[in-house]
Amino acid sequence: EAGVTQFPSHSVIEKGQTVTLRCDPISGHDNLYWYRRVMGKEIKFLLHFVKESKQDESGMPNNRFLAERTGGTYSTLKVQPAELEDSGVYFCASRITRGSPLHFGNGTRLTVT
Amino acid sequence: AQSVTQLDSQVPVFEEAPVELRCNYSSSVSVYLFWYVQYPNQGLQLLLKYLSGSTLVESINGFEAEFNKSQTSFHLRKPSVHISDTAEYFCAVTNAGGTSYGKLTFGQGTILTVHP
């Protein structure tokens, strides 16, 4: 089966611009997560979708971040406008059932200059 | 609130030597524990997990970790490492109950470098 796919793998944008990251979970995985690792820090939870609904968005840093999962398939994470501190690696993960492990994508490395 | 501390940011070892990567956690509720590994230019892969039962869990590539509730630790060990074990290793925890199973709290990561 195909794994979790993230696009793009790298993105370099200027401060104030908008960037949209995409995640395609494993087919049939209702649970989708976004995580972020800022340089030198630990990986932190951003939010959790169950199908198209946001189950938990307690980790979203501020209202410049908007996550969507229309139709309960792929998800997008938009940063608008981007700030320097948004630089880092954004990971997406999915799982099928409660006891099953998270499957992570390779991440999107975002650099804001 | 939960927290995870990986006590070593970098661990250099020689091939075929034993290694231990240390992980301590703090939580007011029961937890599940995980070790993830990230090889260069790849995503995180689950190495092993503790959900319940035997406190010693093993991976298919020779790693093992032991859940010690009294010491709130989940150290990762391998008796003999290989060059291919070079990677960054992450310890993580999540609440054992409720709906937040996949909401992981990660440690800072430990970079294991195996030298020939």
Burial of residue A13 (CB within 10 Å: 0-12, 13-18, 19+) is middle
Contact B6, B108 (CB under 8 A): yes
Give the range among A54-63, B26-35, B99-108 with minimum mean pLDDT: B99-108
Instruction: Say if A53 is an interface residue toward chain B (CB within 8 Å).
Output: no
User: How many residue contacts between A and B have a Cβ separation below 8 Å?
Assistant: 53
Q: Do A93 and B46 touch (CB under 8 A)?
A: no
Residue B101 has pLDDT above 80, yes or no: no
Question: What is the Cα–Cα distance from A71 to A32, expressed in whole angstroms?
Answer: 13
Residues of A in contact with B45 (CB under 8 A): 104
Q: How confident is the model at residue B55 (pLDDT cuts 50, 70, 90)?
A: confident
Residues from chain A that touch B100, judged by Cβ atoms under 8 A, are 48, 56
Q: Residues A38-92: pLDDT tens digits?
A: 988 999 999 999 999 999 999 999 999 999 998 889 999 999 999 999 999 999 9
With contacts defined as CB-CB under 8 Å, which chain B residues touch A3?
43
Q: Is B84 helix (H, G, I), strand (E, B) or coil?
A: helix
Closest CA to A93 of A44, A48, A38, A39: A48
pLDDT of amino acid B115: 96
Residue A101's pLDDT is 83
Residue B87 has pLDDT above 90, yes or no: yes
CATH class of B3-115: mainly beta
For the domain bounded by A5-112, which CATH number is listed?
2.60.40.10
> Residues B107-115: what's their mean pLDDT?
97
Q: Which residue has the higher pLDDT, A72 or B100?
A: A72
pLDDT (0 to 100) of residue B99: 65
pLDDT surpasses 90 at B96? no
**In this structure, are residues B91 and B107 in contact, taking their beta carbons and an 8 Å threshold?**
yes
pLDDT at A39: 86
- Asked if A90 and A8 touch (Cβ cutoff 8 Å), the reply is no
Q: How far apart are the first and last CA of chain B?
A: 41
Q: Given pLDDT bands bounded at 50, 70 and 90, which one contains residue A18?
A: very high
Mean pLDDT of A89-101: 88
In this structure, what DSSP letter does residue B42 have? S
Q: A41 to chain B: which residues are within 8 Å by CB?
A: 108
Of B46, B100, B109, the CB nearest to A101: B46
Q: Do A105 and B43 touch (CB under 8 A)?
A: yes
Tokens of A61: 């840093």
Domain ranges across chain A? 5-112
